[in-house]
Structure 1
Amino acid sequence: MTINFGYSQAQSYTTSFELYNKTFNLSLDSSVILRDSVELNEQYIQRSYAKVNDSKYQPILDTLIAYKNEHELNDWLYYQLIRKTAEAISPKKDNYERYTFYKWFLMVKSGYDARLTIANNRIIFYVYNNEDISDIPFIMFKNKKYMCLNYHDYEHANLNEVPPYDMIGIPEAKKAFSYKVTRMPDFKPENYKDKKIAFSYKHRAYHFNVRLNPDVEAVFKNYPGVDFESYFNIPLTKETYGSLIPLLKKNVAGMGQKKGIDYLMKFTRYAFLYQNDEDNFGKEKRLSPEETLFSNYSDCDDRVALFFYLVKEIYNVPMIALLYPTHITMAVQFDKPVGDPIVYNGKIYNICEPTPQKEELSLGKMSSAMKMLKYQIVYSYQPTKL
């Protein structure tokens, strides 16, 4: 990130940084800048809050909220804007504690119930969240769940053991933070790269030139494991969507529902190389549909999310996600059932396996290894009737 500073005689700073598809400009009054030596205690945070609260911070906040509203940023994307703003005010590498303070200050002034606490000589940053989030530390405080927003900065610390007291917040900040991403930001078209994707279906080769942006990976760098409804509904960016979905629609036009969904299943299964997350990333990591298109390797979670997105965009039919102990797959409700039936809420669904298996599975067929295992329906998609 490139940050540019200017200084005027009016004791104000101008700073700019690149954000998504534009240069973001901020005017910072010098009264906002903290210059005292950092002390890792509650008193320092309270003094810093009092100073910045009495400063001319409102134009910064107004600019942030106006941008959020104009571009319809979900909370997670708005938090990325706050992170960059805090970096512009007080760079992370120069003073991590001060940088974290500014993130917290901007979050609470934006209305979010965010908290700071000091534990084991660390400043730890939490935000109230009422969603089903996994794989990141959280604590319960006054019967509310607070997720840790800076856990990735303390890689080897057990933040689940942080005592839930001395949580510093402000009374008027009450809003819950959401990790749902229902709209991707617009990126600069010139930052997209072309990726060639190919697979064969019914003895015919299909080729795609998909436009992908590496900045998407940065958006989801520290994104947690959200519930399956939130995960499956992360969309593509406009540029990527326009380079893939219209061509897929053209390719399946005239195929009929079953053959068209079979085509999408085989595309998801065979157009990408398989590798489990432990070998690929060294840990469990779910990729968004766009990340799966960009990545060299993907596993069952990633392919199910991509397959769901493609079927939803092109056919918009009911689907259910089946979670096994070590696998996840998708079943679709067809106009006429095919293969092994899965009955859920009185409706018949059929397995569409988008991940390579030891055996070749046709539409509606379940892996023999899965037939004897129990599964859980973790998401049911029912299209909204217009």
Structure 2
Amino acid sequence: MRISLVSKKSLTDIRNRICLNDWFFYQFLVVFTDELFPNADDNFKTAFIWFTLMKFGYDSRLSFENGRIYLAVRSESKSYPGYSKKKNFYSYLTFPNSGYNIEEFFIHGKSAKDFDFSLFQYPCHETTREIRKNIDFKITTSEGHSVATANVIIDLDILDHLRQFPALEFRYLVNSKLPVETHESFFKSLNSLIEGKSESEIIQLLLSFVQTSTEYSDDLQNPSLHREKWYTPFESLYYEKSDCEDRTVLLYYLVREILDIPIILIEYPSKDHVNVGIALTNLKTGLFYKGNYFKVFETTSNFGQDGTSQIYRFSEFQIQAEYFPK
């Protein structure tokens, strides 16, 4: 079995042309292998994908159980089940039927690249299925409550791809990118609403946006999902329902993009809860972390409250994502 330099170059050219990150490249290899070897069994196809990933420099490994072989890749992410070995974590891309500690029977020691689940780009299409969406949300003015509207372009093809994406950890979600058309349309619309506002006014507007632009629904109660999977900011701009985690990720992303100030995502494991800490300018009280005071905001507070929280004072918490401007 051999991938020639020409074949590897062809695969590289295809990958670059249609903008595939590691996960989408793996999905492409699954389809490519099925078409290349339509009559081969699953073990052969898995071995071919492993061999291809190895040739592309990934630390990919095979395991064996009950007559089947399984593919794992080294990754910093634990988005997929896997196993640890010598301080490294290996995520299974094809899953054993029982357990995740089965024996490796082949290791290629020269491959050293991690498999990266980051969403820094999305698959490109020659034609797109774009829709324009108006997102209504409540804001507070001197006259009381009113409704504002943000406009956004959504590529439905990208949404289809994301439905097959693993359930990501927070640090991957908050750092995922918006597609170019979505970013340009949404922030053009949003900037017109925040123009001339102070830092605290912008935060309150963004908080109102994430709290009131969607209906609250727990992932497991959402009929469109069959497992708990938190949304990327892009998905949150499309779907009509969201939960605490989805809203917190979106607020983190918006504050970072618009204000470029220190921000943290805080998880409370015992309470199955998350919120956001924002280092407001000249803030002298709050949660102290890495030389900054953070005011903590809840994304599921009822509209009309300021959204601030003191839960960190009496609950154990972990910082799952952080951003400090360079």
Alignment match, 2:51 = 105
Residues 135-162 of structure 1, C-alpha deviations (whole Å, 9 max, x = no match):
x3212456643210123xx6xx3342x4
Question: 2: CA distance between counterparts of 1:344 and 1:234?
Answer: 24
Which of 106, 115, 129 is the matching residue for 1:177? 115
| Amino acid paired to 1:64 | L
In the other structure, the counterpart of 2:158 is 216
State whether structure 2 residue 66 is matched by structure 1 residue 126: no
Q: CA deviation at 1:189?
A: 5.7
Separation in 2 of the partners of 1:318 and 1:260?
Answer: 15
In structure 2, the CA distance between the partners of 1:174 and 1:320, relative to structure 1 (3 Å rule), is: closer
Could you tell me how far 1:299 is from its partner in structure 2?
1.4
SS of structure 1 residue aligned to 2:128 = helix
Whether the aligned pair in 2 keeps the contact of 1:331 and 1:351 (CA below 8 Å) is: yes
Counterparts of 1:1-386 in structure 2, within 5 Å, are: 52-53=1-2, 57-69=4-16, 73-91=20-38, 95-129=41-75, 131-134=76-79, 136-141=80-85, 144-151=88-95, 157-160=97-100, 162-166=101-105, 168-188=106-126, 190-202=128-140, 203-280=145-222, 281-325=225-269, 326-337=272-283, 341-354=286-299, 356-357=300-301, 360-363=304-307, 365-366=308-309, 372-384=314-326
Counterpart-to-counterpart distance in 1, 2:81 and 2:156: 27
CA contact (8 A) 1:289 1:305 kept: yes
Measure how far apart 1:222 and its partner are: 4.6
Are the structure 2 counterparts of residues 121 and 297 from structure 1 closer, same or farther at C-alpha, using a change threshold of 3 Å? farther
The one-letter code matched in structure 2 to 1:137 is P
| Stretches of structure 2 lacking an aligned partner (at least 5 in a row) | none
**Distance of aligned partners of 1:262 and 1:116 in 2 relative to their CA distance in 1, 3 Å threshold:** same
| Larger RCO of the pair (alpha carbons < 8 Å, separation 6+) | 2
**Against the structure 1 CA distance between its residues 150 and 220, is the aligned structure 2 distance closer, same or farther, given a 3 Å change threshold?**
farther
Tell whether the 8 Å contact from 1:268 to 1:303 is kept in structure 2 after alignment: yes
| Alpha-carbon contact 1:127-1:147 (below 8 Å) kept | yes
Q: Deviations over 1:335-379 (max 9, x none)?
A: 2439x722222311112322x23685305x216x66532222222
**How many residues are matched?**
318
Change (3 A) 1:159 1:215: farther
Measure the CA separation in 2 of the matches of 1:252 and 1:165.
55
Shift of 1:126: 0.9
Contact kept, 8 Å, 1:334 with 1:350, in 2: the verdict is: yes
What TM-score, normalized by structure 1, do the two folds share? Answer: 0.73
Identity of aligned residues (%): 25
Q: Secondary structure at the match of 2:178?
A: coil
In the alignment, the residues of structure 2 paired with residue 219 and residue 251 of structure 1 have an alpha-carbon distance, to the nearest angstrom, of 31
Structure 2 distance, partners of 1:201, 1:143, is: 49
> For the aligned residues, what is the CA RMSD?
2.7
Contact 2:77 2:116 in 1 (8 A): no
Bigger radius of gyration: 1
| 1:46 aligned residue | none
Q: Residues of 1 paired with 2:229 and 2:107: CA distance? A: 31
CA contact (8 A) 2:150 2:190 kept: no
1:374 aligned partner, one-letter code: E
Determine the C-alpha separation between the residues in 2 that align with 1:279 and 1:371: 30
Q: Distance in 2 between matches of 1:345 and 1:370?
A: 16
The answer to whether the 8 A contact 1:80-1:219 is kept is: no
Which whole-Å CA distance do the structure 2 matches of 1:266 and 1:196 have between them?
Answer: 16
Distance 1:165 1:102 in 2: 16
SS in 1 for 2:104: coil
Q: TM-score, normalised by structure 2?
A: 0.86
Rate the CA distance shift 1:146–1:315 in 2: closer, same or farther, 3 A: same
CA contact (8 A) 1:245 1:310 kept: no
Structure 2 SS opposite 1:308: helix
What do the CA deviations read for 1:19-64 (whole angstroms, capped 9, x no partner)? Answer: xxxxxxxxxxxxxxxxxxxxxxxxxxxxxxxxx22xx644331112
Q: Is the 8 A contact 1:180 1:230 kept in 2?
A: yes
